Amino acid sequence: MDVRRRSVLTAAGAAGAVGAAGVLGSAGTASAAALGASHGHRDPNSLRELAEKVGLRIGTAIIPQDINTPAWAAVAASQFSVVTPGNEMKWQVVEPTQGVFDWSGADNLVAFAKANDQLIRGHTFCWHNQLPNFLTTGVANGSINQTQLLDLLEAHIFTEAGRYRGKIWQWDVCNEFLTDSNPSGVNPNDFWIKNAGPDVIERAFRWAHQADPHALLFYNDYNIGGEDGSNAKFQAAFNLAQGLLEKGVPIHGIGIQGHLDTQFGWSPQRLSDDIGKYASLGLKVAITEADARTFVNNPTDQVPTNGLENFAQPFEMDEMLKASLAHPELISFTVWGFTDADSWVPGFFTGEGFATIYDVNLNPKQAYLSMQSTLKLAALGAPHRVRTRTPHP
């Protein structure tokens, strides 16, 4: 998904939020690169420290303004142990013009992660959205044929994975290839399937593994943890992963995005069952883009229009975390942006918002507090996560 800013904090609101989040006051004026030095003694009640007790990595998607705004950077650094670039590693961003690269955003994220002892989820090599114009235009006008398109994808994967080889913990290799129908399956009209051929997913995973042999390689999608009610899309993802494994394709994990909406029914038990079924294939699992949206008064203030949603939103976020903690193969839980002020939701779902764990003024919401309590209890009995190779930038 695409992360975009919706509003800007006031200076007073940001300063107050830093204190509420339990981070050092000096971080308000510190540079992003220097934040790591201020966290030698982290808050033991932060999400990252609590999750570490059972080996779980708690993460967030971040965009440049999260790094460049000191109060926001302080929260990102103190609360999370893994970060995902919201946009900065997508093809459209890193190579907007063929052969002309811009690695500044991705490099800044890698530097931020290194400064704050965080792991990185690379996102994403192969997706039908946020592709460079030279690629989509070339395919549309026939100047790029199937062979050339595959060559370009291979070069893109080797170039990007090669640049960050040994620095990325998990890569979302292929993203959102499945239909929303029942039954579900690989979408024949997906840009890559239609123009590069049905074996493009297999090719992408093999190329990614060759380019960075130690990175964990994930297939990532939405509604594949039972959110669709029918579990049809889960079954399609399970079948896809099983088929790839039977061919010896180096797929190591499934990324369940975890975008919820409180107006729809949702079963935490179904999510837990689905996580277990993915794990039965020998795969790691990650919640990669967790949020829970609801109807709000406006995109700036994002106050729920129904008071009950103040209970429903944190309940769904917390139940998603609880389902994850039940399975040692679930190695990371990432929220898709930590504050409502830069959530993607209001820009994509008219009338909805309030989807994250901090409000628009960077104050921890009930969702944060519920997750914090759950992680405290998890230390008393939740299974420890399976071990993985964990490189550092």
Task: Give the pLDDT confidence of 325-363 residue by residue, as tens digits.
Answer: 999 999 999 999 999 999 999 999 999 999 999 999 999
Which of the four pLDDT bands, split at 50, 70 and 90, describes residue 15? very low
Q: Does 33 have pLDDT greater than 90? A: no
176 is catalytic: yes
Most distant CA pair in the chain, distance:
60
Task: Given the residues 95, 176, 202, 329, select the one marked as catalytic.
Answer: 176
Q: Which long-range contacts (CB under 8 A, 24 or more apart) does 180-184 make?
A: 180/223, 180/228, 180/233, 181/232, 182/228, 182/230, 182/232, 183/232, 183/235, 183/236, 184/232, 184/233, 184/235, 184/236
- Give the torsion sign (CA, 299, 300, 304, 309): positive
Q: 58 by DSSP, 3-state: which?
A: strand
Closest Cα partner for 388 from 141, 150, 121, 124? Answer: 121
Q: How far is 46 from 294, CA to CA, in rounded Å?
A: 26
246 is catalytic: no
Which of the four pLDDT bands, split at 50, 70 and 90, describes residue 42? confident
Average pLDDT, the chain: 91
Question: Residue 312's Cα: distance from chain center in Å?
Answer: 22
Query: Both tokens of residue 215?
Result: 């990175």
**321: which strand partners?**
none
Task: Given the residues 289, 309, 319, 352, select the one marked as catalytic.
Answer: 289
Q: Where are the domains of the chain?
A: 11-378
> Top-level CATH class of 11-378?
alpha beta
The predicted model gives 151-179 an average pLDDT of: 98
pLDDT per residue over 278-335, tens digit each? 999 999 999 999 999 999 999 999 999 999 999 999 999 999 999 999 999 999 999 9
DSSP 166: T
Which of the four pLDDT bands, split at 50, 70 and 90, describes residue 40? low
